[in-house]
Amino acid sequence: MTSQNGIVSAKRFDVGREILKWIAIATMTVDHIGAAIYPEYIILRIIGRLAFPIFCYLLVLGMETTRNPKNYLMRLLIFAVISQAPFYLALGYAPFEMLNIFFTLSFGVLFLMNPILILIPVFASLVLNFDYGLYGILWIACMRLLRANAKYGVVALILVGASSLLDSDIQIFSLLALPIILLHETGYIHIEREVSENAIYPRWTKYIYYMYYPVHLTILYLVKLNS
C-alpha cells in the first residue's frame, strides 16, 4: 500500500511471535513422531506437551491482530476438515473417533469472539470428542486472561495444568511452555520490526503454518506404511 505522497506504508511485524510459531511447530512434530512411530519413547510425548499451550497463546494474539475474526475462524475450520483424514490415519484413530486440533482452536475462537459464546465450546466438548476437549478450551481462556492480567493468568494456567494430573501422567509437562510464553508476554522476545504493507514474507508464512499440519501428518502416515 502506498500513501498519497508516494511513500510505501509500513506495518509492525513481531519476530518474537514467529519464533513462538516455530517452537510450537517443532515440539508438535516431535510429539506426533512419538505418537505415530515411536510410542515407546515417552520423552518425545513430553517434549510435545509444549506445543498446545503455545498454539493457544498464538491464537489469542491472532484474534487481537486479525482484521476479520470471521475469516480467521473460517480458515481454521477449512483446515480442520482438510486435516481430519491425515490426523486419524497418522495417529491411529477411527475416522471420527477424535477431531483434530484445528477443531479445538475453532471452538476457542468462538469464545474469543464473544466470551458469552463459551457455552458453545463447552457444550461441544461434552458432545464432540475433539483434541484436548474442555481442557483445551480452558487453556485458551487462561491465555486470554494472561493477556489481560499476567499474574492472574499465570495462576489460572498453573491450576489448569495441575488439574491434568487427575487423568494424565504427562500433561502436567505442558506447564513447561509457560516460561517460553512469558518471554514474549513480558517483552523479552517481543521483537518488532517495520515491513512494507506489500511484504511477501509475513503473508505467505501464514499459510505455511496452516498447511504444515496436514502435510506433516501425511508424511508420518506414509512412513508408518513403509516401516
Residue 157 in this model has a pLDDT that exceeds 70: yes
Residue 4 in this model has a pLDDT that exceeds 70: no
Domain range for 182 is 10-225
| pTM, full prediction | 0.87
59 part of a folded domain: yes
**pLDDT for the residue numbered 19:** 92
Structural domain count, the chain: 1
178 part of a folded domain: yes
3 part of a folded domain: no
**pLDDT for the residue numbered 125:** 73
Burial code (b: 16+ CB inside 10 Å, e: under 16) for 154-176 equals bebbeebbeebeeeeeebebbbe
2 part of a folded domain: no
Residue 61 in this model has a pLDDT that exceeds 90: yes
191 part of a folded domain: yes
4 part of a folded domain: no
130 part of a folded domain: yes
Residue 17: which of 80, 64, 68 has the closest Cα? 64
209 part of a folded domain: yes
24-46: average pLDDT: 97
Residue 200 in this model has a pLDDT that exceeds 60: no
54-75: average pLDDT: 94
Rounded to whole angstroms, how far apart are CA atoms 107 and 137?
A: 7
